[in-house]
Chain A
Amino acid sequence: MITAERKPMEEIFRSVEPFGKILLVGCNECVTVCHAGGRKEVAMLASALRMGRLKQGAPLTVDEMTLERQCDPEYAEELALVVDQYDAVCSMACGCGVQTVAERYQGLPVMPMVNTAFMGSSEKNGVWAERCAGCGNCVLGMTGGICPIARCSKRIFNGPCGGSSKGKCEISPDVDCAWQLIWDRLKQLGQTELYSQIMAPKDWRSARDGGPRRIVREDMAI
């Protein structure tokens, strides 16, 4: 999933300062799962904004709405009937959702209420961790199912570096060494011979380095 965290309240108050009436829009997908921008978080932020602005003596009207999927133009269309009544849309979706809404409603400011963080998974309740860097050419089959790009601080392909200590990364004792994990898993799988191959320099064109990416599926065109 795409993970996100709500922006600090101070920043949010600053960004809505010019407005008197906003539509606060959540998303029912990833940001709901990571508890950053679903229906519940929309309700909480809406009441915090109303109370805060009331205290400032500049009341703010906040209406709430949560779309099934904000990054999908079909769902973003649902805002069309009401959006004209507002000074701005404040989106609690990831950056994809914010941009989909902004592209559809060109004349309206669309303010982000969350910081989109990374593609990751839930480690335990309340903890999410980065798992995928979206490089466009998956190597997990070579690395015991653990990604050296997303999980090694130096994104080393032939690790571990000299900074690995007792299974932890040199940047922090809270960060696992990805190559320790890779090695442990390769041993478990009986695939240690994979380690002896020097992994070649990556072709970063399939990642963000090659420029903004698109997927075009001719077979899906209507």
Chain B
Amino acid sequence: MKSDSNLEKVLAAGHFAVTGELGPPRGANLQAIKDKATHLKGMVDAVNVTDNQTAVVRMASWAVSLVLREMGMEPNYQMVCRDRNRLAMQSDILGAAALGINTMLCLSGDHPSFGDHPQAANVHDIDSIQQIQMVTTMRDQGRFQGGAEIDTPPRMFVGAAANPFGDPFELRVLRLGKKVAAGADFIQTQCIYNMERFAEYMRQAVDMGLTEKTKVLAGVTPLKSAGMARYMAKKVPGMDVPDEVVKRIADQPKEKQAEEGIKLLCEQIEQLREMPGVAGIHLMAIEWEHRVPEIVERAGLLPRPQV
């Protein structure tokens, strides 16, 4: 094993993995984290803790990760390249590893123009692929990016994100290949609604042998309403929500749309379990953590394996 990560163990044992997500609070509110986390405990194998997602300031992802750790959960510590240079990244990684964080996710980060501090300077000292190389070099070779030796390397299980739906389509799998070559142990994808296109993406990834080198967790997000479906379809960059998906939710009366969203999600999870190369799902129930127990139960994903 490369780490003590529960996610690594679950995947290594061949289980269909389930990861969840928790967005840190917009303040120093410890209770808010605990309230959200309670819904996820025992329901998922690891919980992604987002890092200033959509470029909006929130509590530090390492701090929230530690809270989850103390609650007996496995945090997947997210780190974006937008806000930190390589010095800050490496020191945060050492601190996180020393305090029991075993899993992390390397990301570029949304541009500051989307967030609450559009005036902010944009760091991007290194990009997400270089970040994967940096962390795996720290772990496997015991060296900082600058070359100096590390006393007690951080044993991180290292993940990366992938969007199967951005353009140009022909580059999506090639870029995934670059992330795998950089050392990504696992991949979590952007939310999938276009199953056909995702299946084609996975076919290419399997053909290239990428799924033998990394574990792909397919990203899914329940649609809570027709409004949300339309928003995802129109406003979120790089998201592919087919018209029939929007229509399926919108055709229901308002009070039944959430239920239809969960039904659709369960069907998707069923399909994903059968799809070659898919090693699990990453369930992003955005501000809907309290529905996660019901979703994983109905999708037949309980109980989570003890490894």
Q: Which residues of A contact B (CB under 8 A)?
A: 201-205, 207-211
Contacts and interface: CB of A to CB of B under 8 A. Distances in A.
Q: Is the interface of B mostly helix, strand, loop or mixed?
A: loop
Contacts of B119: 201-205
A205 B118 contact: yes
Nearest to A201: B119
A204 B120 contact: yes
B127 to A, nearest CB: 16
Nearest to B119: A203
A210 to B, nearest CB: 6
Contacts of A203: 119
A123 B111 CA distance: 38
Nearest to B124: A209
B115 to A, nearest CB: 12
A52 B265 CA distance: 66
Interface string B101-126: 00000000001110000111110000
Interface in B47-64: none
Question: Which 8 pairs, one residue from A and one from B, show the smallest C-beta to C-beta distance?
Answer: A203-B119, A209-B122, A204-B121, A209-B121, A205-B119, A205-B118, A204-B119, A204-B120
B111 A211 contact: yes
Contacts of B120: 204, 209
Given A202-B121, A204-B119, A204-B122, 6 more contacts: A204-B121, A205-B113, A207-B121, A209-B121, A209-B122, A210-B118
A209 B121 CA distance: 5
A202 B118 CA distance: 11
Contacts of A202: 119, 121
Nearest to B120: A204
Nearest to B111: A211
Nearest to A207: B121
Contacts of B121: 202, 204, 207, 209
Nearest to A209: B122
